[in-house]
Amino acid sequence: MALPEVTIYTDGACSPNPGVGGWAAVLLKNGCVYRELSGREEATTNNRMELAAALHGLLSLRKPHRVVVITDSTYVKNGICSWMSAWKRRGWLTAARQPVRNRDLWEQLDQVITHH
């Protein structure tokens, strides 16, 4: 049996960067809005808000789904599709052997992705 499909549109912003920020995620099933989520933080960065949007969208799914994440953040896209597997192999270090920024959110995202 095929998993149900959900599309998650995400965005995050911060002004100034760093500063007050917000994130939002809209989930669609069968082309219809299924869930709308949003949040804010007082002291954050744009990249953390972009990650939070994707993370909260995925966390809101109670059961496994086939998920498509739509984001304008190359940071989130590259992190999920390319960088994260290498970071984990290197013990959460970048190619330059520096600690991965926002590791706390990346690790949470990695855990939730494995359920979908």
Compute CA distances 53 → 12, 62, 70, 101, 113, whole Å. 6, 17, 11, 17, 14
pLDDT in tens, the chain (116 residues): 799 999 999 999 999 999 999 999 999 999 999 999 999 999 999 999 999 999 999 999 999 999 999 999 999 999 999 999 999 999 999 999 999 999 999 999 999 999 88
CATH class of 5-113: alpha beta
- Bridge partners for 31 per DSSP: none
DSSP tag of 100? P
Note the pTM of the prediction, 2 decimals: 0.95
Domain boundaries, the chain: 5-113
Distance CA(44)–CA(6), nearest Å, equals 28
SS3 call for 14: strand
CA dihedral 35, 48, 76, 1 (to 10 degrees): -30
Please enumerate in sequence order all residues whose Cβ is within 8 A of that of 60, keeping only pairs 6 or more positions apart, or say none.
25, 27, 35, 37
